[in-house]
Amino acid sequence: VAFFHSKKKLLNKKVLVTAGPTYEKIDPVRFIGNYSSGKMGFALAEKLAEQGAQVVLVAGPVSLKLAHPSIQRIDVQSASEMHEACLQHFPQMDAAVMCAAVADYRPKKIASQKIKRQAREMFIDLEATADIAASLGKLKTNSQLLVGFALETNDEAQNALGKLQKKNLDFIVLNSLQDQGAGFGVDTNKITILSKDNNVQLFELKHKTEVAADIVEKLTQELAKL
């Protein structure tokens, strides 16, 4: 058998990806969730696997299927389940890409029976969920890369940089809402990548699979520097 060079750039690299929304239970039939489709995270997982990476994909509730056979998929519902799965796998990883739209709050108590309709107003007490990216940021070693996402409505760059620092990320992918056709529910995205070394890269509006390829390229470059 002739020896040939593989063009795959992430052979032997292990990458954790979170994707989709989380659902936080209110009662047996209701939850707090969000409109994240999971498309960006799934596209990333596929591109990483195409480059030979061993991918662990922690997915919230989404209606998506994977094409690549080697991706290890862990389906979760809540932020707490997603956190647990990430804590379990992150120590073995070379990189983690936090693409999930994790709920920031969850009901303090889950009602064991369906909550009945009443004519008066009602309130649900909420408590903060764990910041999964920040918790991985605390565990991160010098040989690991941590990537976050941000979707902002105002002061985009400033807010994204704040998150980069607070969560100890190596770079953050800012989803620009400035342009139509970017963000939740659509197949395209316009991103800006802000790095901890103050490097800023602007990208064109593209299909999410192409955006994923740009992010994987950036990740590959940054991994090589570690």
Active site residues: 34
| Angle of CA points 26, 32, 34, to nearest 5° | 165
Query: Which among ligand CTP, Ca ion, none contacts residue 148 (Cβ within 5 to 8 A by kind)?
Result: ligand CTP
Q: Is 149 annotated as a binding residue?
A: yes
CA distance 161 to 198: 9
Footprint of ligand CTP (CB under 6 A): 18, 79, 98, 100, 102, 104, 129, 131-133, 148-151, 163, 167
Shortest reach from residue 122's CB to ligand CTP, in Å: 25
Q: Should residue 104 be labelled a site residue for Ca ion when binding is judged by CB under 5 A?
A: yes
Query: Which among ligand CTP, Ca ion, none contacts residue 137 (Cβ within 5 to 8 A by kind)?
Result: none
C-alpha separations of 136 from 20, 144, 162, 166, 179 in Å? 18, 10, 17, 12, 31
CA distance 6 to 77: 37
Q: Is 196 annotated as a binding residue?
A: no
Q: Should residue 84 be labelled a site residue for Ca ion when binding is judged by CB under 5 A?
A: no
Rounded to a whole number of angstroms, the distance between the first and last alpha carbons of the chain is 34
CA distance 187 to 195: 25
Q: Is 8 annotated as a binding residue?
A: no
Shortest reach from residue 176's CB to ligand CTP, in Å: 13
Q: Is 104 annotated as a binding residue?
A: yes
Binding residues for CTP, as ranges, are 104, 114, 149, 163, 167
